[in-house]
Amino acid sequence: MPHLFSPYTLRGVTLRNRIAMSPMTMYRSRGGHMGDFHLMHLGARAAGGFGLVFGEQIAVTAEGRTSVHCAGLWDDDQVPGHARVVAMVEAMGGVAAVQLAHTGRKGSEQLPWEGKAQLPPEHPDGWPTSGPSPVPFGGPKHGHPVHELTVGEIHGLHRSWADAARRAAEAGYRWVELHFAHGYLGSSFFSPIANRRTDAYGGSLENRARFLLEAIDAVREVWPEEYPLTMRLGADDLHPDGTRFDDAVTAIGWMREHGLDLADLSFGGNTPDSHDGMRGEQGAWVERARRIRSEVGIPVAASWNLRVPRTADDAVRSGALDVVLLGRPALANPHWPVWAARELGHDDPFSLVPEDYAWWLRTMRGHAPSIGWPQPAP
């Protein structure tokens, strides 16, 4: 029976376990480049035992960033920085993954700890944002005008996604994910809250999914056949006027026909008025993931409140999830996989880390708590 620490193969890529570090925007880039911080940050998680390691969401255009401090792959000059990170993650036994994104109408923001408000286009660190319709995200922090994309601009963005995927392959990535959640561009096309178009990209579910399917097609044409292509979908807006989970079930079936290998489930995030009670639930997406696997027949990953090892392991053992994604837990504990293995009674928890780490940890002197592991979860 598969479990949290069993290998997982998708297309021609095998993960050493089912534990992935989720993309976490760190606001440490300059000019869209990955630097020494990313080398340290992501290399440490691979050394800590994560099987799949995502960096932050990577912008396919400069205007697709959350802020000027975010990383991208819209320029060939950005490839070497990514290649350094990939090499380190792979050297530590992990698989390096890249999530390609465009923030759409939620871009051009301040740093979160400075307020996260959207900057006006005339600000030195701001730019005009775009979306499927001229509808701002709303709330007190996102009220600036939104440019409605033309059909020609939509096609250009699909080329940008493909170009970024080509650069990702050049950098050595072996896993690519497209970010269609959290109110960013792909998610806003999918949601009737943000998408008020009356052309082929708006209205019906089929039309609202068109942008996403064409992005998958564009990337699949350039992405190596032996490597997985996955996507993170805003599968529910948690709002009566937004995307419903039934919409996601249907759309993921279409995506599978277009070459999608795995569905990563998350929230829509297309309005500040969402009723987000699910966010506090332990393993919030597990049962919905089980439905996707059953009805669509596609592998599934999810994040959100899977930080307790038993919850994460049960989700894999029960057949609901193929891969567990951890965001904040991965930031808090770079060796979360080792801690989880100890919590769950793994025969050799230190087998999850590189041998030079494992040798020292297996030959410890004194009592185990002296290493400083977290206390057992309640």
Taking only the tens place, the pLDDT of each residue in 221-247 is 999 999 999 999 999 999 999 999 999
- Structure-block tokens of residue 219: 């990337």
Q: 155: part of which helix (H) or strand (E)?
A: helix 151-171
Mean pLDDT for the stretch of residues 353-377: 72
- Structure-block tokens of residue 99: 């999530």
CB 111 within 8 A of CB 69: yes
Q: 137: part of which helix (H) or strand (E)?
A: none
- Structure-block tokens of residue 297: 């027949």
What is the predicted pLDDT for the residue at 273? 86
DSSP-assigned letter for residue 23: P
What is the predicted pLDDT for the residue at 274? 76
CA 207, chain centre distance (Å): 24
Which of 8, 27, 173, 184 does the annotation list as catalytic?
184
Pairing of strands 129-131, 146-148: parallel
What is the predicted pLDDT for the residue at 362? 84
- Residue 221, phi then psi, degrees to nearest 5: -65, -30
CB 221 within 8 A of CB 162: yes
* Cα angle: 165, vertex 167, 173; to 5 degrees: 75
On the question of pLDDT at 373 being above 60, the answer is no
Considering the entire predicted model, what is its pTM?
Answer: 0.95
- What are all long-range contacts of 294-297, with beta carbons under 8 Å and residues at least 24 apart? 295/249, 295/253, 296/249, 296/252, 296/253, 296/256, 296/263, 297/256
Burial of 75 (0-12, 13-18, 19+ CB in 10 A): middle
Q: Give tens-digit pLDDT for 39-50.
A: 999 999 999 999
What confidence tier does 375 reach under pLDDT thresholds 50, 70, 90? low
What confidence tier does 372 reach under pLDDT thresholds 50, 70, 90? low
Q: Give tens-digit pLDDT for 64-106.
A: 999 999 999 999 999 999 999 999 999 999 999 999 999 999 9
On the question of pLDDT at 122 being above 60, the answer is yes
Q: Give tens-digit pLDDT for 270-300.
A: 999 877 666 667 778 899 999 999 999 999 9
Q: Is 357 a catalytic residue?
A: no
- Structure-block tokens of residue 80: 């070497």
What is the predicted pLDDT for the residue at 367? 56
On the question of pLDDT at 148 being above 60, the answer is yes
Compute the distance between CA of residue 3 and CA of residue 166 in angstroms, rounded to an integer.
33
The rounded percent of the chain whose pLDDT value lies above 70 is 94
CB 160 within 8 A of CB 61: yes
What is the predicted pLDDT for the residue at 17? 98
What is the predicted pLDDT for the residue at 188? 98
